[in-house]
Structure 1
Amino acid sequence: MEQPKEILVPEEPVEISTRMRPGEWTEESLQEHLEDYRQQIRNMGAKESQIVTNVERTEEGAARVVVSWDRSRA
């Protein structure tokens, strides 16, 4: 199956992020968000090795999720 051509300018960074307040998420829903964001990045043309995931949790129970496409990775 042929890979789709990249639809974005190669030099531009790609990042999907969100912040969730305490009580708005569970570990299960957080994992669902992560997989959804990863799939969106894959759909844009990223290889699995180029997808970077970062989750920050605060002491208050909030979470910040960032999934990005690191085009410098092979």
Structure 2
Amino acid sequence: MSSDDVEISTRLRPGEWTQESLDELVREYQHKIAEMGAAPNEIKTHIEHTEAGGVKVRVEWDKGL
């Protein structure tokens, strides 16, 4: 990720999310990045499930593409 890239991220604790709410959150983040001007191929989504049952979500605009 370069210094020009844009990122939206959050961490959700166990019990704070369902697969449906996670899917909706990811769509919202992707939409926000697209509204800023990112092309679909420039939007990168990273989802990491933690051992404790939480999840880390990061959606970025990779302007280097």
Corresponding residue of 1:3: none
Q: Note if 1:30 corresponds to 2:9.
A: no
- Cα distance, 1:40 vs. partner? 0.1
User: Percent identity, aligned pairs only?
Assistant: 49
Structure 1 counterpart of 2:49, which letter? R
Aligned residues: 63
TM-score (ref. length: structure 1): 0.82
Match of 1:63 in 2: 55
For the aligned residues, what is the CA RMSD?
0.9
1:52 is matched with which residue?
44
Q: Which runs of 5+ in 2 are unaligned?
A: none
The 4+ residue runs of structure 1 with deviation greater than 4 A are: none
Output the amino acid matched with 2:42.
Q
- What is the TM-score of this pair, normalised by structure 2? 0.93
Q: C-alpha separation between the residues in 2 aligned to 1:27 and 1:59?
A: 16
Q: CA deviation at 1:59?
A: 1.4
Question: Which residue is equivalent to 2:32?
Answer: 40
SS in 2 for 1:56: strand
- By relative contact order (CA 8 Å, sep 6+), the higher-ranking structure is 2
1:16 aligned to 2:16?
A: no
